């Protein structure tokens, strides 16, 4: 299956549930008026776009309708695709401009964080990059073993310590190894929950201090992995993590298993955090770099 078709297939549930309803609604109108936009806004909110973003989309559509002199309600479909694409565009590319560059991967347990790291490592090694994985989730049972399996699958090295070790120490070791072995990218796993009294955000702050001290001039990405099936809860997580530790991008997993794909808009437009990758399946190559135009095209594609 081709690159675009994977995204199209992955967004099928969202397209059927949300866009299908929007198209049915547009067909029921004979003219473009305030009532149409009210119904559209309501459907967008129901599709997990969020109230502020739904309002903004409708305002943009009203401007375009007026500017282009559009009378046919069915033309709204095309304008909606254009508007969504414009809103999502910007900041999708990973910044890996230094050697080494470092990617800190953050997220609560259960969102597919370790799997995402493995797929990301595979994606980067296929581009010819030398990748080192840092097993910084030392608190969750089997997290280190799970990451080892992914390191083997994606043909990259892993730096680890025993379960219960200091995560910041693991990151330090990985940075030292990357410098010695001239690695291109370090991808760091982190705990989604700590079993002791020390808050998760404090641990992330400690890791960030190690990175800033050891690699002050390196390109740094802080990617938050979110489960698309949780809808607005994913937006809340993004908000909390962003305030606490600063996030450069989002990886949205399990898009193929949900009708809540509209959450992409809520995160990008509502929080100003770009989506960098989306997960649209279980296979190792099902983590796709995010492309705003392809996403909008797949979301609004006619089945």
Residue 83 is assigned to a ligand binding site? no
Residue 215 is assigned to a ligand binding site? no
Residue 20 is assigned to a ligand binding site? no
Residue 33 is assigned to a ligand binding site? no
CA distance 126 to 114: 19
The tokens for 264 are 């992409």
Q: Which residue in this structure is represented by tokens 């995160």?
A: 267
Question: Cβ(169)–Cβ(161) under 8 Å?
Answer: yes
* Residue 212, C-beta contacts closer than 8 angstroms, at least 6 positions apart: none
Residue 253 is assigned to a ligand binding site? yes
Residue 89 is assigned to a ligand binding site? no
Residue 112 is assigned to a ligand binding site? yes
Residue 191 is assigned to a ligand binding site? yes
Residue 264 is assigned to a ligand binding site? no
Rg (CA), the chain: 21
Residue 189 is assigned to a ligand binding site? yes
CA distance 6 to 294: 11
Residue 109 is assigned to a ligand binding site? yes
**DSSP string for 144-178:** HHHHHHHHHHTT-EEE---TT--HHHHHHHHHHHH
Residue 229 is assigned to a ligand binding site? no
Residue 202 is assigned to a ligand binding site? no
Which residue numbers belong to the known binding site for GTP? Answer: 107-114, 189-193, 253-256
Which residue numbers belong to the known binding site? Answer: 107-114, 189-193, 253-256
């Amino acid at each position: 299956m081709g690159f675009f078709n994977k995204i199209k297939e992955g967004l099928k549930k969202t397209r059927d549930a949300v866009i299908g309803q929007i198209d049915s609604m547009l067909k029921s109108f004979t003219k473009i008026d305030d009532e149409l936009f009210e119904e559209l806004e309501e459907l967008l909110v129901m599709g997990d776009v969020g109230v502020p973003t739904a309002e903004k989309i409708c305002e943009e559509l009203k401007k375009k309708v007026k500017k282009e002199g559009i009378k046919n309600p069915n033309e709204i479909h095309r304008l909606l695709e254009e508007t969504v694409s414009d809103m999502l565009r910007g900041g999708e590319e990973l910044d890996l401009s230094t050697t080494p560059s470092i990617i800190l991967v953050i997220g609560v347990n259960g969102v597919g964080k370790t799997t995402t790291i493995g797929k990301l490592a595979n994606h980067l090694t296929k581009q010819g990059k030398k990748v080192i994985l840092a097993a910084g989730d030392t608190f969750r049972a089997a997290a280190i073993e799970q990451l080892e399996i992914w390191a083997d699958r994606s043909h990259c090295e892993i730096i680890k310590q025993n379960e219960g070790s200091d995560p910041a120490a693991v990151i330090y070791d990985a940075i030292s190894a990357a410098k010695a072995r001239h690695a291109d990218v370090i991808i760091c796993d982190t705990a989604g929950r700590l079993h002791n009294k020390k808050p998760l955000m404090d641990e992330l702050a400690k890791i960030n201090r190690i990175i800033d001290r050891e690699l002050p001039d390196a390109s740094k990405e802080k990617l938050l992995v979110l489960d698309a099936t949780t809808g607005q809860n994913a937006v809340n997580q993004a908000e909390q993590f962003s305030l606490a530790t600063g996030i450069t991008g989002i990886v949205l997993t399990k898009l193929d298993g949900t009708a809540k794909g509209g959450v992409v808009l809520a995160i990008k437009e509502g929080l100003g955090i770009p989506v960098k990758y989306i997960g649209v399946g279980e296979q190792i190559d099902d983590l796709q770099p995010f492309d705003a135009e392809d996403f909008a095209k797949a979301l609004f594609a006619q089945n």
